[in-house]
Amino acid sequence: MTAFPPGRIRSVVRAGGVCALVVAGLAGLTGCGGEDPDAGTNGVGKLPAATIQAKTKKAAEQAKAVRLSGTVVSNGTTYALDMRLKSDGGTGSVTSKGVGFRLLRVGKHLFLKADAKFWAHQDDKDGGKGDTAAADKLEGMYVKVPTGDPAYQRFSGFTDKDVLLDGLLSLHGSLATDGHHEQSGVRTIRITGDKGSGGTLDVSLKGTPYPLLLVRAGNAGTLRLTDWGKDFPLEEPSRKETVDYGQQLPAS
């Protein structure tokens, strides 16, 4: 009979005990000594990439509110966004080419608030002589944007939760998972389009599978999505704070 040193016996017993737990199917182990990265999660990390994307899109659609911050490149222009959105409107800041402004939409009513630097870029029929006067009048005021104005079509999308997220959360190309990651202390599963060239999306493994980080295809921006489901006040500014141009804003 072969004799084993005491230390060797303890090692064998420990290894055998671990493997016995695996065979017994206890949660948290995928092999002898290996931890399951999906233990204690919502389970979406074990699903195919296409299914994960479908679940996270549905979760985003059903959420009452979200905060979206980061950058978006559209038609060659980079916009830095910090928007809070819900089904009936949104509010927040947008910066482009060093010029910032605020947007507020309540229902169909869109308001734009900016400083003199923004309004000084407005073109005037008199060759620009009215720029200073317009800037002084509009600085710090909420300007109501007519629905038929080109600016309405250009900026209202930044305040529309459904339109914005539907366009942003679609990855391009063949979908695949790309391991487990972490965003602001929350474990995530990452899905990619065409191995990352079609964009990447980190999906929460805690609770509802909300999208938490989006890297858009073609270097078209990076966005963080937070405060899912957290409501916020949304109301039109008072008349004293508002300028109504009627049918047409100054040409931008």
The residues of the chain scoring below 50 in pLDDT are 1-2, 4, 8-31, 123-126, 252
Say what the pLDDT of residue 248 is.
60
pTM for the model stands at 0.79
180-199 core/surface letters (b: 16 or more CB in 10 A; e: else): ebebeebbbbbbbbeeeebb
Is residue 225 within a helix (H) or strand (E), and if so which, with residue range? strand 222-226
- From residue 37, how far is each of 15, 17, 51, 150 by CA, in Å? 21, 21, 19, 49
Say what the pLDDT of residue 89 is.
96
- Neighbouring residues of 185: CB distance < 8 A, sequence distance ≥ 6: none
Say what the pLDDT of residue 19 is.
36
Distance CA 187, CA 182 (A): 4
- Neighbouring residues of 197: CB distance < 8 A, sequence distance ≥ 6: 173, 217, 218
State the amino acid at position 13 in one-letter form.
Answer: V
3-class secondary structure, 5: coil
pLDDT digits (tens, 9 = 90+) for 130-187: 567 667 788 889 999 998 888 898 899 999 999 889 888 889 999 999 999 999 999 9
Say what the pLDDT of residue 79 is.
93
